[in-house]
A and B are shown apart, each in its own frame.
Chain A
Amino acid sequence: MERSVSPKAISLGEIPWWSWLVLVLLLVVLFLALSASGDLLAPLIGKAAYATDYLHEFTHDGRHLLAIPCH
């Protein structure tokens, strides 16, 4: 019933602290799931990067079809 009234504005300082944490976490998950691969990360973190290849290959078709660079 009050839907035409705009909700109260939130200033940047009023954003709860944990939402920044959640934002970073979600971005990391998004990156690991959709873009990380051995070939991409090996120059940065060495051979350990190849462990991400399992997830990379599992999500392979999704990455291509979501238009994210793959290989």
Chain B
Amino acid sequence: MFATFLHRGMAAGLLAGLLCGFFAFFLGEPVVDGAIQVEEATAADHQMEASANHGHEEIFSRSTQKVGLLFATSLFGVTVGGIFGMVYAYFRSRLLSNSEWSRSLSLTSAAFFGVFLIPFLKYPANPPGVGSPETIGSRTTEYFAMVTLSLVVVVSTWYVARELRARGMSTPVRQLVVALGSVVVIGVLYSALPAGPDPGEFPAGLLWDFRLSSLGTQVIFWAGLGVIFGFLNERYARKAST
């Protein structure tokens, strides 16, 4: 059963990755191009830093990197989808939802919060030109630490809610306790972890557009994964029962 859900997760993830890749290609790339122009103009102003910052972009042309975008989102999709499929195989029997379709949607929503949205609100996506290359090590560590901690928060929230339900706590009280508790924990995490990079003089409008297109890319990925994975499972479940 783990193998079945692994395969379906990878297939659904690949499709969802392509889907969000096309979104990013048409809506995100113009913003990335704009950001790179700003980055180059800034580098030209500070001749000293120009050579240090510039080497980064030159192995591939911009048009090759745009093809690479689809490769990146597909690879992200296959691997994340595979992991999701195995997690689904484990949690399937523990979820309240009673069809493959709604289980798939509820688990992808939970994963969207844990893997993406909670970390994103603390460390939003940054276009080329924001953040100095010297800090990439600490920024990467902080980002993945935030992803891990958010996943812990999501899983514990779910676990606590399940325990409280089992003890017969009334629904309004339980939901308020769980919601407040998780908001407080997330707030503590946000203030405990170091701040993200300062965008400095990077144009605010362009930065907002970039973050919005990044948010859109991830929303499409997780929605696509939930829908395609749910659809695949429903189809096989129906076949098996006839």
User: Which A residues contact B (CB, under 8 angstroms)?
Assistant: 1-4, 6-10, 15-16, 19, 22-23, 26-27, 29-30, 33-35, 37, 39-40, 43, 53-54, 57-71
Contact = CB atoms under 8 A, between A and B. Distances in A.
A61 B217 contact: no
A1 to B, nearest CB: 5
Contacts of A23: 83, 86
The prevalent SS among residues of B at the interface is helix
A22 B72 contact: no
Interface in B138-172: 139-140, 143-144
A67 B69 CA distance: 13
Nearest to B147: A68
B159 to A, nearest CB: 14
A19 B88 CA distance: 12
Interface centre among A35, A40, A43, A68 (most CB of B within 10 A): A68
A9 to B, nearest CB: 4
Nearest to B215: A67
A1 B99 CA distance: 10
B226 interface: no
Given A39-B137, A64-B214, A67-B119, 7 more contacts: A23-B83, A30-B75, A30-B80, A34-B76, A57-B60, A58-B60, A69-B139
Contacts of B218: 66-67
Contacts of A27: 79, 83
Contacts of B19: none
B46 interface: no
22 contacts: A3-B237, A10-B89, A26-B79, A27-B83, A29-B79, A30-B75, A33-B79, A34-B72, A39-B137, A40-B137, A57-B65, A59-B69, A60-B57, A62-B24, A64-B126, A64-B127, A65-B69, A65-B217, A67-B214, A67-B215, A69-B126, A69-B140
B21 A19 contact: no
Interface of B: 1-3, 6, 21, 24, 28-29, 32, 56-57, 59-60, 64-66, 68-73, 75-76, 79-80, 82-83, 86, 89-90, 92-94, 98-100, 116, 119-120, 123-128, 131, 133, 136-137, 139-140, 143-144, 210, 213-215, 217-218, 237, 241
Nearest to A35: B140
A22 B86 CA distance: 9
B32 A40 contact: no
Nearest to A56: B59
A26 B82 contact: yes
Contacts of A10: 1, 89-90, 93
A34 to B, nearest CB: 6
Contact of A62 (B1, B68, B99, B120): B68
